[in-house]
A and B are shown apart, each in its own frame.
Chain A
């Protein structure tokens, strides 16, 4: 049914989430730019090799890169060793300063990389199904989330529509002004009621027994993924890059 091309797309979403969270925690304790940049490079490679929307990767990377550059100079300028007064001497290129800058910058990159890796290689319907099956979140919550997600495009349209309604009466409103949002909230409440009625009339109930078509399974590759992200990489990080 859904596209399962690419290494990361085929990983069970729950395993992917847990693995990447553990890895992020492990990285928090290591201050080594080579490790960070290595994992960032791997994440970028995996995204580019997948059939994820490349535009959705490059556009968020623009602010991330700017942030990384900013953080680099922060780290470069304020190393913990240098407590001298500010003078030309401080701008003298020292390797420890560059190193410190790289630590700061690479952190921004690696966390952005891991986040995007999850976001861009995970189908949301499979994710919710997997959370329900493997992490046992209640089905009413899982499908409620999916339904609410489906409302998002409608809400965006509604937001625009309300703005146009103001405009047609010659009133200019600023984006996100309260009068726009109040209208949106009133409508969302009504929509969610109608939607829950529609779901119920299609036989959905919070506590009923449902079957699962193509249930998400945890397969060997998922265990391998967990082993790599939760054990091998953290251990390597501690041993070599501490």
Chain B
């Protein structure tokens, strides 16, 4: 049995270009198949079509067909369809509709019309399958990205679909959680013959597992290789796909570039502190501190990476620094002691706003203008040259032709470029970036890191970024901190 796609044509807008342009493929259940390709190549769209989510929820099917186990998924009712193809989404925040893990599993069991007396056993089985028994009564909105995906895995294991479709499901998940989820999926694949169709632009997780890797380009499947065959790696690399953990260009050349065109003071070796954290703690639920005792000093001009397991509190730390969460202890901007020029972050006044800049995980979180241009203009409120300067920036990031479009309509990569550029238009001393390369392909990742690091180097700003990508941390940071057990270690 299989998923059969024949001459599929699909577009999001009635009069716009097609996203899927006559794709043909047969995915067999016995094989683990990975769909890869650049951002915007149509791989996620293809998956949504196979799951029957499109065209019911968005877009227009202009020709061709998708058959999952012999039926068109769009014609099945949701309860039947979810037994054919279960989906794990990229954004774990918007997958749940109940409050606690247990209630969510009850919701799924009820949808499947299970007999009430078998529901408790099914829930226990699903919880232990995903190894999340200890999370059963936790509120979903307090879980980390990795924990949420494990809950999703529990839901899927209860649905027991013929196919499991993963849409960049590990984008916000650390390696150990990804490993666990992957092992469990393979277990289902071996024991129950569950088909696995995976969309991922990073192949490192899948290289040893996949039986087939399909490369998509511009709405078509252009290449299909078996990773165990000789020459497969080279064939993909030739097509511009990142196969393993290739090193990134790194920080050295960016610094060199910055030095040549801007003579900024720089002090990465540590004498002028830019941000000092002492005994910082954050708790979301009373009595359960996510961060218990954070002590660190970040020096002017340095670039620091923060890594750690999912659920270790990276987002909480960045949230505290950006004023999103309350914290105890102290986070002092611009010095070691309160006094001239230094200020406690939670007590910042209007004059200090803008001294610390943020790049959020999702670029959409930081948009505030109605159009792309307004987004950049926001920084030059009282500048008479605002028009000219915003034009210059937008031309540089190649978004000038979209100037009157809403930022929400841009592609992910474009949104990220815009967000970073808008922020860079503003002078800040410390730049705090929470997973700036979240869900970006290699090309975009390099471009983002370049913009951020260059911007920081040119103004001698300090930069902190968190990432799941160890390689990224090694290649771009002066110093790597690990967040573990509520503490920060070098």
Contacts and interface: CB of A to CB of B under 8 A. Distances in A.
A208 B97 contact: no
B453 interface: no
B367 interface: yes
B322 A150 contact: no
Contacts of B378: 169, 171
Given A204-B107, A205-B79, A125 B360 contact: no
A170 interface: yes
Interface residues of B, number: 64
Query: Interface residues of A: mostly helix, strand, loop or mixed?
Result: helix
B29 to A, nearest CB: 19
Interface string A190-226: 1101111111111111001111111100000000000
Given A150-B99, A212-B116, A202 B108 contact: yes
B77 A210 contact: no
B103 interface: yes
Interface stretch (A33-41, A58-66, A103-111, A155-163): A155-163
A94 interface: no
Contacts of B324: 157, 160-161, 164
B97 A195 contact: yes
Nearest to A205: B78
A54 interface: no
B426 A202 contact: no
Nearest to A180: B368
A165 interface: yes
Contact of B116 (A124, A190, A214): A214
B209 to A, nearest CB: 24
Contacts, number: 162
A169 B374 CA distance: 13
A166 interface: yes
B141 A200 contact: no
A4 interface: no
A85 interface: no
A198 B368 contact: no
A183 B365 CA distance: 9
Given A198-B95, A211-B114, A169 B426 contact: yes
Contacts of B368: 162, 165-166, 169, 171, 179, 183
Contacts of B354: 167-170
Nearest to A158: B365
Given A143-B97, A186-B408, A214-B116, A169 B77 contact: no
Interface residues of A, number: 52
Nearest to B378: A169
Interface string B91-109: 1011111110011001111
A215 B115 CA distance: 12
Contacts of A162: 365, 368
A172 interface: yes
A164 B423 CA distance: 12
Contacts of B206: none
Interface string B348-364: 00100110111010001
Nearest to B89: A198
A197 B57 contact: yes
A150 B96 contact: yes
B230 interface: no
A225 to B, nearest CB: 25
A234 B452 CA distance: 70
B336 interface: no
Q: Which of B102, B357, B366, B406 has the most CB of A within 10 A?
A: B366
Interface string A128-166: 000000000000000100110110011001101110111
A191 B95 CA distance: 10
Contacts of B77: 205, 208
A187 interface: yes
Contacts of A204: 78-79, 97, 107, 111
A122 B197 CA distance: 43
Contacts of B58: 193
A154 B378 CA distance: 25
A213 B422 CA distance: 50
Given A171-B378, A204-B111, A211-B115, A199 B97 contact: yes
B331 to A, nearest CB: 14
Given A202-B159, A208-B111, A161 B365 contact: yes
Contacts of B159: 202-203
Contacts of A1: 102-103, 106
Contacts of B82: 201-203
A166 B159 CA distance: 43
A169 B356 CA distance: 9
A199 B94 CA distance: 10
B302 interface: no
A67 interface: no
A167 B351 CA distance: 10
A204 B78 CA distance: 6
A118 B110 CA distance: 27
Given A169-B423, A215-B116, 20 more contacts: A150-B97, A150-B99, A160-B324, A161-B324, A169-B422, A170-B426, A191-B94, A194-B91, A197-B57, A202-B108, A203-B79, A203-B81, A203-B82, A203-B159, A204-B107, A204-B111, A205-B77, A205-B78, A208-B113, A213-B119
The 7 closest A-B pairs by CB, nearest first: A170-B354, A147-B97, A203-B111, A203-B82, A205-B78, A194-B94, A165-B366
